[in-house]
Amino acid sequence: MSSTERWTGGGQPGGTGPAVVSQGARVRWSDPLWWTAGNWAGRLLCLDAGESTRIAVFGASEAGAAGLARALAAPDLGAAVRGWPGAFGVVRAVDGRVEVLADAVGTVPVYWTSTATGIVWSTHARALAALAGDGPDLAWLGAYLRDQRAPAACSAFAGVHRVPPGHRLVLTERGASVSPWWSVPHPDRYEVAVARLRTALTGAVRVRVGSGKPVSTDLAGMDSTTLTVLAERYGPVNGVTAHPRGVTAGGDLDFARTLSLPQLTRRTFELTDEHLPFAEAELPATDQPPLSAHLWGMFSAQLAAARPVHLTGDGGDHLFQPAPTHLADLVAHGRLLHAARDAAQWARARRISPVPVLRHAIARDVAALGASGAGAAASWLTPGTAYDRDPVDRTAAAALTDSLRAAARRAQADTELAASVGVELHNPYHDAAVLDAVLAARSWERVSSTRYKPMLVDAFGDLLPARHRDRTTKGTFETSFHAGVRARLPHLLDHCDGHLAALGLIRPEQLRAALHRAALGARTPWRAILAVYGAEVWLRAVGNAPAPTWAVLAPARRMP
């Protein structure tokens, strides 16, 4: 276990048999049982107000004793902690009732399973799967392969449930219940929302870099550059910009050079052939397929050069450059000309017809608007991957929330990969307080068909160089994907007849044909390719890794 790997969990009050804890865990509370595993230094806050009244916050948070005391006494725990900066979960035990809060975005996931001796919860799904004796869930895998948006209440393992983001798990002697504690905030004036965003994102960065550990950041697009500027306020920062070998100017490199700060050290990371996508590598087992499985050769090398705390801009696109779901809100509010203009400009920028976009807007079909430009389902997927998506309210706010939660869920496995090599990987844009701030603006005010990420620029433009404020596009690495397929084609073809094929989830012949076309440079549905590759690599990693082990806690050892 590295110095940054950690998880936590607990049990049902008044269990019917011997309690279990993750092997090597430290017992924090006895009954109800709560334990931690790994290094939680600086990431754990606890308050005991007696044997039967306790609260703890696990994750990145700066809640102090006063805040914990208020939350412990609050009738509504969710309302008490809402607005705290950071990404964290909360467990509160009061008079034989345990309440576990999953954050509103899902950055700190919470899972649970039923055992013969009671319900066990944890932030580590694979550990719970080992306890329950179950393997990967085929229905979850099918949904993941379809569009990477698996049902919120399911984990990647059969028999292991997930507490959906923004929900609470309540445990009593009688059993378990799950209910929502978070809801979309009411919109406010745009200027107020912008000010809230500045406060929330600044706090999100502060709670992560305030530990005194050396910090590095991606230094590329507007999202990561904003984080770099904020992090530099609290200490030295290494800003890292990736670039292809032989390329010394243009793109992100030029934007990075315009940022000059007293405590910023700009560094570059040269991408060579060994960093091409789809390199053969053994990945650590994670709780679900990693977003960066295809980039592990590059990602692991970058992590090796990173500081102990590394910030990424993941999530910024989902918040500030979302799909055109705001068109449905414009129609609902009678702003038809505005909707027609935005639809035409959005479609023109992507070289697609505006007619389907307008049709979806008039029908207020946010699911279809959210998928605009995504293309058809991959031809190699079998009917066994079909699933019913979780319903989403017909508003842009609900669609944006769903999109950010999906991004945070995919990024969680990358956080696990980074922890395996001793790096704390953080995504401040996934914080619940940041989401609340963005949603405080009306959907058609926070996006624009003529300005790039207007809400982020309005909140932090005074801190960014003019060139960043005027940026209109972001870089793409699609060319390297084609090169990676060509270089690793035998390796990729070998994956076509792997676990997914044996499970009946893909058609190997059609997947092989798609890979051959990609190697030739044809237009490729990369999102679907990356999903099938990540899932196959993940299944192999889970199958090869030793299962997490558990220990029975003898009654004599169950001391607080």
Which tens digits make up the pLDDT trace of 390-445? 777 789 999 999 999 999 999 999 999 999 999 999 999 999 999 999 999 999 99
Please indicate whether residue 480 or residue 558 has the higher confidence score (pLDDT): 480
Find the length of the chain. Answer: 560
Per-residue pLDDT at 557? 39
Is 397 inside a domain boundary? no
Comparing 61 with 370, which gets the higher pLDDT? Answer: 61
Q: Is residue 378 included in any domain, yes or no? A: no
Higher pLDDT, 557 or 14: 14
> CB-based contacts of 360: which residues, under 8 Å, 6+ apart?
327, 328, 368, 369, 372
| CB contact set of 352 (below 8 Å; sequence gap of 6+) | 372, 373
| C-alpha to C-alpha distance for 118 and 18, rounded to whole angstroms | 9
Is 294 contained in some domain?
Answer: yes
Rounded Cα gap, residues 224 and 218, in angstroms:
6
Residues 244 and 339 in one domain: no
Q: Is the pLDDT of residue 313 over 50?
A: yes
Domain final residue pick, 183, 214, 242: 183
Same domain, 240 and 145: no
Contact 460, 205 (CB under 8 A): no
Mind listing the pLDDT tens digit for each residue in 158-169?
999 999 999 999
Cβ partners under 8 Å of residue 329, min gap 6: 395, 396, 442, 443, 444
Distance, CA of 303 to CA of 299 (rounded, Å): 6
Please name the residue ranges forming H helices in 137-242.
Answer: 138-147, 190-209, 222-232
Q: Omega into 32 within 30° of 0, i.e. cis?
A: yes
Higher-pLDDT residue of 553, 522: 522
Structure tokens at 555: 């009654």
Could you give the count of Cα atoms lying within 13 Å of 300 in the half-sphere of its Cβ?
20
Asked if pLDDT for residue 370 goes beyond 90, the answer is no
CA terminus-to-terminus distance, the chain: 25
At 26, which helix (H) or strand (E)? strand 26-29
Residue carrying structure tokens 């006494």: 73
CB neighbourhood size of 497 (10 A):
14
> How large is the average pLDDT for residues 207-214?
90
Residues 347 and 292 grouped into a single domain: no
Looking at the fold, whether 333 and 361 belong to one and the same domain comes out as: yes
- Do residues 16 and 133 both lie within one domain? yes
The least confident of 22-26, 207-211, 263-267, 540-544 is 207-211
Among the listed residues 178, 55, 172, the one whose alpha carbon sits nearest the alpha carbon of residue 111:
178
Residue 1: predicted pLDDT: 66
Whether 556 is in a domain gets the answer no
At 558, which amino acid appears? R
Q: What is the CATH number of the domain that holds 83?
A: 3.60.20.10
DSSP state for residue 76 in the 8-state scheme: -
Token pair for 179: 């209910």
Q: What are phi and psi of 556, to 5 degrees?
A: -65, -25
Average pLDDT over the chain, rounded to whole?
Answer: 92
CA distance 400 to 152: 15
**Position 495 in a domain:** yes
Verify that 116 and 239 share a domain, yes or no: no
Give, as one character, the DSSP assignment of residue 423. Answer: -
**Looking at residue 415, what is its pLDDT?**
95
Residue 431 lies in a domain: yes
Higher pLDDT, 282 or 80: 80
Residue 385 within a domain:
no
SS (H, E, C) 255-324: HHHCCCCCCEEEEEEEECHHHCCCCCCCCCCCCCCCCCHHHHHHHHHHHHHCCCEEECCCCHHHHHCCCC
Q: Specify whether 64 is located in the same domain as 148.
A: yes
**Residue 560 confidence (pLDDT) above 50:** no
In whole angstroms, give the CA distance from residue 124 to residue 119. Answer: 14
Per the CB < 8 A criterion, the answer to whether 456 and 316 are in contact is yes
- 173 plus 204 within the same structural domain: no
Is 376 contained in some domain?
no
Residues 349 and 485 reside in one and the same domain = no
For residues 145-169, average pLDDT:
94
Go through 465-486 and write b for each residue having 16 or more CB atoms within 10 A of its CB, e for each that does not: beebbebeebeeeeebbbbbbb
- 441 and 332 housed in the same domain: no
Q: What is the pLDDT of residues 487-520, one digit of tens each?
A: 999 999 999 999 999 999 999 999 999 999 999 9
Identify the residue with better confidence: 475 or 190. 190
Question: What is the rounded CA–CA span in Å between residue 102 and residue 341?
Answer: 39
- The total number of structural domains in the chain stands at 4
Domain holding 332, by residue range, is 324-370
Q: What is the pLDDT of residues 523-542, one digit of tens each?
A: 999 999 999 999 999 999 99
162 and 202 in a single domain? The answer is no
Same-domain pairing of 27 and 105:
yes
Q: Is 335 left (phi over 0), alpha (psi -120 to 50) or beta?
A: beta
Region 79-106: mean pLDDT is: 97
Ramachandran quadrant class, 511 (left: phi over 0; alpha: psi -120 to 50; beta: rest): alpha
How far is it, in rounded angstroms, from Cα 455 to Cα 239?
23
User: Up-side HSE of residue 293: CA atoms within 13 Å toward CB?
Assistant: 26
